[in-house]
Structure 1
Amino acid sequence: MPTPDTLDVVVLDKDSVADGIVRLTLARPDHDMLPPWEPGAHIDLHVGKPPALIRQYSLCSSPADRHQYQVAVLREPAGRGGSSYIADELEPGDTVSVSAPRNHFVLVPSPRYLFIAGGIGITPIVPMIEAADAAGADWTLVYGGRTRTSMAFAHDLLEARGPRVVIRPQDEYGFLDLDELLATPTNGTAVYCCGPGPLLDAVDAASRHWPTGSLHTERFAPVAHPAPTGEDSDFEVEFAQSGVTLTVPANRSIIDVADEAGVPIVYSCEEGTCGVCETAVLLGEPDHRDSVLTDDERRTGDRMMICVSRARSTKLVLDA
């Protein structure tokens, strides 16, 4: 089962919001309400001819508007074809399938927020700013990109939010000065960052002296984990609901062997970034290799992303 439950939506509009970035407005064909969501959520978009490509995009519209979803898509010529199809072939009036929203980038209540966005990473931040405003929180956005014309929503954010928004195109200012921005830890400030991997790595390094739990990030690509100290080993996985116990060889994933054996597993990215395959761990110790769970969630060890993660123990019992 490589895809989650989906619903069909119609492309109401497709417009350009920056160089190489298009915004899709999606709605039910009957104009009924869509599933609810909160800032930070994303959807799977199924595009192209069968077998469809499945791509995850953050919702950038208002959660208060239950009649439409909006996503912004950066055309990546060197990608796997999903963004190119959306940019070049998808048109208003076309029907596509989407998943219900999922959220691994939840906006926690806080009196103050520092939002840091890089490029297309602005998309989940836009509804977060709306929510922070509605809650009466203090906030600042620092937004970097290659050029002004490549930065989606930059003009609208400046017009609507004024001095709280700091726009820093790289061709005018160079790279964001994260050491200065994060020099002084501030209690009660939640730092939210989304963008390319190098930006997230740099923000993580520059904020390590901040209180634990201050930094919240979302990645579009899998994080690079340290190489294992030894070779991967075989281990057993018992799927409690299915009543099946399988051996996972060193060179295969849990999803590979489960899918082959007909265990009903739902998954999507197979990179440990989307969170679709999150599975409860009933017994055993996971070896986490995903880019979704927080350090605290990994220490708890009660769930794992079975597309990339393995086992430290000789056996895992999963609620599947």
Structure 2
Amino acid sequence: MPIPGDPSGTTRPSRHATRPSLLWRWFLQDKGPFATEPRTPCATSGPGPGRRCGVSVEGGALYRTLLLEEEGGIFTLTLNQPQNRNALSYDMAEEFQEAIGEVAGREQARVLILTGAGDAFCAGGDFHSIIAEFRRPAVELQPMLRKFYSRFLCLRDLEIPTIAAVNGPAVGAGFSLALACDMRIASSSATFHANFVRIGVHPGMGATYFLPRLVGASRALEILWKGETLSARDALALGLVGRVVEPGRLMEDALESARQIGAMPPRAVELIKRSVYMAAQSSLDEMLERESQAQALCGETREMQEAVRVFLGRSRGSRGGA
């Protein structure tokens, strides 16, 4: 399938290549909300329990700003600059896009967890490498910012579910990055800082896209106008996070959720994700068409055929047989 945003038309193998029907190909043509540049997977050793890429492992690549781990199809991507409270830099942006490309290319990938090293999730844009760029003329700065956003928000192009495990402060662009994930679980010590206006800047990294869709336009405006800081409990009450757990249980809880989702039939999970995001911009009739197509496609999968066989067998047994 085409890589979104690649003008050359370069393709990468579809996770659905084993089912190359015309309906599958048509159904999977829609693109995610953010276009990205072509991705270059990191050169790593083969898959296996606890495999890491982005660390000094024999045969593996080395990331300076990230840690990427995999076990049983669950990938954990850690923003790994605790000395800078995991601030987003140009170097991290390049490596982040590469790491997402690595996950996208792995057939066994089922769920991605995003978290931060140390006591912060992400402190927002790195002051020295990003904020200092605001001294440039706007006509020069805008394309730089757009490219910077896209390198992180390629996260949105992943077909698999993404979970933000928010372990501490999520500030500015870090707040937006957490919102870009499909689900969020917060430590009780996490805080969410929509502080853009406090330094006189318009929100970025998709904040004005994600926040209203989660809390509504009126509440989003209030949060952004006031530059509010939200506690984990505030975020839970607003629906920004699904649940709040004690700090020591955050990754355990996130991994358990990831395993539960990852155990479900993968094609059904991916189609549900696409349909839910399409629904925000579609009519009921369009979504009924979409749902009927997706259900028909699921009927072609081994997982659903097996589930139907088991269900019918149980039904016959409960009636004393056919």
The alignment's TM-score, normalised by the length of structure 2, stands at 0.26
Query: Which of the two has greater strand per residue?
Result: 1
**Which one has more relative contact order, counting CA pairs under 8 Å at least 6 apart?**
1
The alignment's TM-score, normalised by the length of structure 1, stands at 0.26
Query: Which of the two has greater helix per residue?
Result: 2
